[in-house]
Structure 1
Amino acid sequence: MARVIFHVDMNSFYASVEQAYHPELKGKPIAIAGNPKERRGIIVTSSYEARAKGVYTTMIVQEALKKCPELILLPPDFQKYREASKAMFTILRSYTKLVEPVSIDEGYMDVTEVAKERHPLELAKEIQLRIYNELDLPCSIGIAPNKFLAKTASDMKKPMGITVLRKREVPEKLWPLPVIKMHGVGESTAKKLESLGIYTIGDLANAHEGLLKEAFGKIGVRLKRRANGIDSREVDPESIYETKSVGNSTTLPYDITEMKDIESTFLKLSGKVAERLEAKNLCGSTITIQIRDCHWNNHTKSKTVQNPIYLKKDLYHEAMELFSKAWDGTPIRLLGVTVSNVMDKKHLAEQLTIFNYEQFAKEEPIYEIIYEMEKKFGKGIIQKGIDVKKKSYASKTSFSKDFLEDLKEEL
């Protein structure tokens, strides 16, 4: 039997939660935004009434008010959004244990077993109505045989849509669309694909695999498979326990070009990332910086280091080294630092290099003593350091990822 996968996507989530708490806001253009007096004041999300007036996510507050003078601006209330998210996932888990949260407002469900007893469309309608009646929140649901098609389907009809997308319908429904419309293809990837003569999803589906592999590596092959409606990924409830990256970025109060301001910003960002890595007991081997200039152009630069890092000073050093190679002198609006390819620090195995072998040589006699004692008293009798569960006071700077901590507590 073919798999039956749902992608449940909450509609205009933050704004909808505010309207659920404050019914007088229903039917009105509202937006969740940062401080409008600062340049950091950007639209986080907006209601469909505001979107109809031209207000969209990441738009500067002042620009949004020009488009929609009657726009009602609200500060984010993350506690309310956390509670609503937990309640939504509780409903999803009442149907199957195979629920994979992706972010605070979306997740996958594998309802293959449930669908043996109930029609998937009937099941989707029930889930949608329960979320709406019990939480007063709208959602869209995509139904498909795999995660990629389910995600694509849920985007097709909003708000309160239910869309079925079968693999055999891919040539008709997806292939005519511009490649930028495909889930997983961003602006830079779309531009690169267009430079190869690939303009539509159909072009991508029929492109030569060797050409894509040469241009994008393994990702190119994966994109071609997705464009053909092929996706073998399982719905994995355990994925909430995996952290793939830790990062932090900041929009600056004004465009900067002075090196002292740049260094100060990277030092703060490195400190915040180091705090979050420490809180999760993680280290990582790939560091990426993001630069957004005054013209809203985004530039990224990455480096994979031999020995995974987690300390503020190391993060700062690598970030500045990358920055010196990436910046062209254009005034900077935003900076970011991300560490990926992360692992638990207790699994860290440092590789010997000409720079650190002396340190290992000094510790060799200690290892010999430990070896002899373990032979006598048993393995693990002596450990290098103690793994203590620390209470973290680090700020949760990546809300869309850190909300998963709440879901772990529920399980």
Structure 2
Amino acid sequence: MSGSGKIILHIDMNSFYASVEAAHQPELKGKPIAIAGNPEERRGIIVTCSYEARSKGVKTTMQVHEALKLCPELIVLRPDFTRYRQASKAIFDILRSYTTMVEPVSIDEGYMDITEVEGNPIELIQEIQDRILRELDLPCSIGVSPNKFLSKMASDMKKPMGITVLRKREIEHKLWPMPIREMNGVGEKTAEKLSSLSIETIGDLASADEIKLKALLGINGLKLKNRANGIDSRKVDPESVYDYKSVGNSTTLPKDLTNQSELLKVIDQLSVKVSERLSTKQMIGYALQIMIRFKNRKTITRSLTLSHPLYDRNHIAEQAKGLFLKHWNGTPVRLLGVTVQDLADKSHAYKQIDLFSYEEDVKYEPVEKVIRELEEKHGKGILTRGMKSAKSVQNAETSFSKDFLDDHN
């Protein structure tokens, strides 16, 4: 392997939830399967489906009744989160049997650095794929390259059950002709902006003017150009599953307040600032924390975890005010703070939406639009959202993501 000398793998399970169901119920093998949050309801949403279903035109985000029109024989199942967690844990146990350099990205996706593992790399990769299929009856695709970005792009090139090697010297022929919308890290909005510079392919981005790119997209424009040229210095980080990030804002009040409407107005103002910072960083979040400092300087923080993403100022304010009213006892308040936690990159939101939440997310039209755009770009099911430590959020609700994290402790 040329370039950095690293051998980085991206392991991506194929149609994971549907494959797990077929492994558990062999009679489902070879049949069109779909997982829906609420299959009994006409407006239930398909959150992932098997390749047999996809061949009939069934797609993620399609309503169940629409999918059944295209494929009357479609088998629609409710999700079994315990089963998926168990399968995910078994997959990562297999990966870690080769090296500790394993970085989970979501319940069905991760990176491996096998640079220091002895033996023929291609034989080793084939063995990993074969073991996951033989021991767990689950198919996966594996991308191989000197860095994370190229490995991620490679794993998408052949599905199901593909092994794709992408060397830096090959990117001109394999990567550059691809439409810019198919580049990992480029969402629909970014693609539209790039189109204004006549950037329609990854190759166009690789040779784009850096000054214009920075003016258009800021520092992210330069990062994307580097990726298009096969440059990505990110390391495989086994600890990144525990990363904890937040965006918040707080203010000391000009005087101690007890008037509820005035306090809620402050929360509105803080929520606007937090929303603006999230927008600037192109992030969404799944947990919210409020801080209340009373006249006697006693400070409390209270948090909750949400099943749908936070980024809109009104939605942030709604949740923050509810949390505040639940925990405020009428004592004069000196300081208030609002923080959105458990962040995820909006451009990778297709990996950050919890299967638990998808039916709920439909209520939030702007979020649904983003999800649909991302799903059209990536053609994948919606998986688990950002992972975090149980200690990060007090009084947090039970979440599939927390369970997934616990599996890696």
Give the TM interval when normalised to the shorter protein: 0.5 to 0.7
Of all paired residues, the percent bearing the same amino acid is: 59
Confirm or deny: 8 A CA contact 2:246 2:339 kept in the other structure: no
Q: CA deviation at 1:402?
A: 3.1
Q: Which residues of 2 match residues 163-178 of structure 1 at below 5 A?
A: 163-178=164-179
**SS state at 1:16 partner:** helix
The equivalent residue for 2:407 is 407
Structure 1 counterpart of 2:240:
239
Q: Give the aligned residue type for 1:312.
A: L
Return closer, same or farther for 1:70/1:157 CA change in 2, 3 Å cut-off: same
Counterpart contact for 2:37–2:45, Cα < 8 Å: yes
The answer to whether structure 1 residue 33 and structure 2 residue 36 are counterparts is yes
Change (3 A) 1:200 1:336: closer
The question of 1:207 aligning with 2:208 is answered yes
| Paired AA for residue 216 in structure 1 | L
Q: What is the identity, as a one-letter code, of the residue corresponding to 1:212?
A: L
> Per-residue CA shift, 1:184-219, capped at 9, x if unaligned?
111111111111211110110000111111111111
The answer to whether residue 126 in structure 2 is matched with residue 125 in structure 1 is: yes
- The structure number with the bigger radius of gyration is 1
Q: Deviations over 1:351-410 (max 9, x none)?
A: xxxxxxxxxxxxxxxxxxxxxxxxxxxxxxxxxxxxx998856131xx4x434422332x
Q: Choose from 281, 285, 288 the match for 1:274.
A: 288
Q: CA 1:391–1:125 in structure 2 vs 1: closer, same or farther (change >3 Å)?
A: same
Q: Where do 1:149-160 residues align within 5 Å?
A: 149-160=150-161
**Residues 51 and 315 of structure 1, relative CA distance in 2, 3 Å threshold:** farther
Report the CA distance shift for 1:222/1:393 in structure 2 as closer, same or farther (over 3 A).
closer
* Equivalent residues of 2:388, 2:402 under 8 A apart: no
The alignment of Structure 1 onto Structure 2 pairs a total of residues equal to 306
Equivalent residue, structure 2, for 1:326: none
Report the RMSD for the aligned CA atoms in angstroms.
Answer: 3.8
TM-score, with structure 2 as normaliser = 0.67
Of 51, 54, 57, the match for 1:54:
57
Cα 1:275–1:14, aligned 2, differ >3 Å: closer, same or farther? farther
CA distance in 2, matches of 1:102, 1:182: 18
Q: Distance in 1 between matches of 2:113 and 2:180?
A: 27
Cα shift at 1:244: 3.5
Which letter does structure 2 place at the counterpart of 1:84? A
| Cα deviation 1:326-351 (Å, max 9, x = unaligned) | xxxxx9753669xxxx999xxxxxxx
Q: TM-score scaled to structure 1, two decimals?
A: 0.66
The answer to whether the aligner puts 1:289 opposite 2:328 as a matched pair is no
Q: Is the 8 A contact 1:33 1:74 kept in 2?
A: yes
Verify: 1:334 aligned to 2:368, yes or no.
Answer: no
Q: Cα distance 1:36–1:408, how it changes in 2: closer, same or farther (>3 A)?
A: closer
Query: Could you list the per-position Cα deviations for residues 193-249 of structure 1 after superposition, in whole angstroms to 9, with x for gaps in the alignment?
Result: 111211110110000111111111111000000000100000000101113469xxx
Matches within 5 A, 1:9-408: 9-38=12-41, 41-114=44-117, 117-244=118-245, 273-274=287-288, 288-289=311-312, 312-313=323-324, 334=365, 392=395, 394-396=397-399, 399=400, 401-408=401-408
Q: Does the CA contact (< 8 Å) of 1:279 and 1:394 recur in 2? A: no
SS in 1 for 2:234: coil
Q: Which residue identity does 1:61 align to in structure 2?
A: V
Distance change in 2, residues 1:202/1:235 (3 Å): same
Q: Secondary structure at the match of 1:408?
A: coil
CA–CA separation in structure 2 for the residues paired with 1:390 and 1:233: 28
Q: Which runs of 5+ in 1 are unaligned?
A: 247-262, 267-271, 292-300, 304-308, 319-330, 345-387
Amino acid at match of 1:214: A
Structure 2: how far apart are the matches of 1:164 and 1:77? 34
What 5-or-longer segments of structure 2 have no aligned partner?
248-267, 272-285, 292-300, 325-335, 341-361, 369-386
Contact between 1:274 and 1:311, CA under 8 Å: does it hold in 2?
no
Cα distance in 2 for partners of 1:21, 1:37 equals: 22
Q: What CA distance in whole angstroms lies between the structure 2 residues aligned with 1:216 and 1:80?
A: 41
CA separation of 1:389/1:138 partners in 2, compared to 1, >3 Å: closer, same or farther? closer
**2:145 alignment partner AA:** A
Q: Quote the residue 1:355 is aligned against.
A: none
